[in-house]
Structure 1
Amino acid sequence: MDLKAFKMDGLGNDFVIIDNRQKITNLTKEQIIKICDRKFIGCDQLILIKKCETADAYLEFYNSDGGTSGACGNGTRCVADLLSKETNKNTINLTTLSGNLKSEILGDKLVSTEIGVGKTKWNEIPLSKDLNTKNLNIKIYDLNKNEHIGGTAINVGNPHVIFFVDNNENFDINKIGPEIEKHNFFPEKCNVTLATVINHGLIKVKVWERGAGLTKACGTAACATAFAAKQNGLTNNKVDVEFSTGKLSISIDHNNSIHMKGPVSDIENIEIKI
């Protein structure tokens, strides 16, 4: 099978995007895993663009393990930029498994997407039992074997847990990430963020993404981290979330809805033989 596709990224969080609006391509789980494999094409997520009567398009997200994801902030921003160039519109409305997402094209390769209100009830995340979602009392250990207890759970279209630590460089995300992702508190697994608040306007993060592993950047993790930080009184309504590859600007409006602004890459046309 020969497929035409696009390759894009937001701060290195990269995607293979297949337009399914005219010609329908049905991919097996094995084919999705192969496309995401960095020994083949390689990406954090595969995105399918589908026709939608009530919005500019419907998006389906697949993690590199072949499983589905309800939301992908950077992926949504990339597709919004792609469709904006096609339609010459500066506002793009996209529908996903987790709801409707409105994106604004702010200038050359700068896109803002409204992710919505973070969900904080235990059954919305979901957790396996009724727990205090502000502090799950999960133990993690730094490189010196010092114990840290915490974990704030938020759902922003997919489940996240954020640990606020003094210095996230002192923790091994490659060890902690997969352990917490599969923790029995999370029946649908979760994304794991180690966050260090530098000041009221800046948080540095490392992210282990559910079904994808260590990622250079994760839009929904940035949104969840900013929301959790505000919940815990660590920051105000606006904060930059910094990854190793750059920053996303997160703001929380008067309705408690989260907005994410950041850069997107050029659009690369690719062909996939699978």
Structure 2
Amino acid sequence: MSASLPAAGLAFVKMNGLGNDFAVVRAPLDWSPAEAQVRAWGDRQAGIGFDQLVVLSESGEGPWVRFWNQDGGEVSACGNGSRAVAWLMMEAAGADAARFRTRAGPLAAARAGDHRVTVDMGPPRLRWDEIPLAEEMDTRGIELQVGPIDAPLVHTPGAVSMGNPHVVFFTDRQDDAFVRGTGSLIEHHPLFPEGVNVGFANVLAPDRIRLRVWERGAGLTKACGTGACAALVAAHRRGLTGRAATLELDGGELQIVWDADTDHVHMTGAVAVEGTGVLPA
């Protein structure tokens, strides 16, 4: 299958990163789809079906990449989507590295093997107002719990922004019903003025974490790249892991490293091309 980027217009390449799937489109920088249109395209019964729409554009500053969640809302960052579009860019250019801008800041990516990409996701944002939270708190463990006051089911999650807001609960309870129920409850909690992605992390060893993520605007997904980065950062800040770990997600594994010298988080994982098509009108 050709790895060429689609021509200008509404042609797309369908890709996934560990099952977290995208429609990647090349379009002008001033092109923005309507929320209702994104929802229709993303619908898995009536549309193409995807977790995110990824739009690659050219500008005088170089390539720009933008992301829309399945619910039609634009978001600043998407880790798996960044790996996917970086792979397409490297294939098209015959290169081993790619750089592009996002609303969360510039990103750099490099090949890490066959259909594997490492993305430098930049430094985590750790101040309460960077995430953002509605009030000042220690983001190593914020004042939030689910369940009875005297016996909460989960509590005191870490809060991290990787260009988009995350909270990470440390728990071994990761069944579908609990993740869906708790994630949907927390996603729009008033503590998070921009909404929040909700991670459920079970630390298996100092270098291994089992993670499930309820993604803001997309629901329970097979993998979340920024969620994996946030989980490693939150776990290390609590003294539960080192600065590097393998994150086990429903769709596969990501290797996450929080570099002590640069403060940048590096994410490595696989990408796959599923097919091509044209977005319906």
Partner of 1:46: 53
- Counterparts of 1:90 and 1:138, CA distance in 2: 43
Query: Match of 1:32?
Result: 38
Q: Distance in 2 between matches of 1:118 and 1:273?
A: 37
**1:80-138 Cα shifts (integer Å, max 9, x gaps):** 11111110111100100010000001221000001011111111000001112111131
- Report the CA distance between 1:266 and its aligned residue: 2.2
Tell me, in whole angstroms, the C-alpha distance in 1 between the residues paired with 2:21 and 2:166: 20
Match of 1:71 in 2: 77
* Counterpart in the other structure of 2:269: 262
**Displacement after TM superposition at 1:28 (Å):** 1.8
Stretches of 4+ aligned residues off by more than 3 angstroms:
none
Q: How many residues are treated as equivalent by the alignment? A: 269
Moved more, 201-210 or 168-177: 168-177
Specify the alignment match of 1:20 in structure 2: 27
Which residue number corresponds to residue 271 of structure 1? 278
| Contact 1:72 1:220 (8 Å CA) reproduced | yes
1:139 matches 2:145: yes
Query: How far apart, in 2, do the equivalents of 1:146 and 1:179 lie?
Result: 14
Q: Which amino acid aligns with 2:277?
A: I
Match of 1:62 among 43, 63, 68: 68
**Is 1:218 paired with 2:203?**
no
TM-score normalized by the length of structure 1: 0.93
What is aligned with 1:7?
14
CA distance in 2, matches of 1:26, 1:228: 34
Asked if the contact 1:229/1:235 (under 8 Å) is kept, the reply is: yes
Task: Judge conservation of contact 1:4–1:18 (CA < 8 Å) in 2.
Answer: yes
Corresponding residue SS for 1:255? coil
For 1:52 and 1:224, the matched residues in 2 are separated by 30
Aligned residue in 2 for 1:232: 238
Q: Is the 8 A contact 2:145 2:152 kept in 1?
A: no
Select which of 94, 97, 104 maps to 2:103. Answer: 97
CA distance in 2, matches of 1:247, 1:211: 23
Gaps of 5+ in 1: none
Tell which deviates more after alignment, 170-179 or 67-76. Answer: 170-179
State the Cα distance separating 1:141 from its structure 2 match: 4.2
Identity across the alignment (%): 36
Shift in Å at residue 171 of structure 1?
6.7
2:114 is aligned, of 72, 83, 108, to 108
After TM superposition, give the deviation of residue 170 of structure 1 in Å. Answer: 8.8
Whole-angstrom distance in 2 between the partners of 1:186 and 1:85: 38
* Residues 82, 267 of structure 1: 8 Å contact kept: no
Letter in 2 for 1:48: V
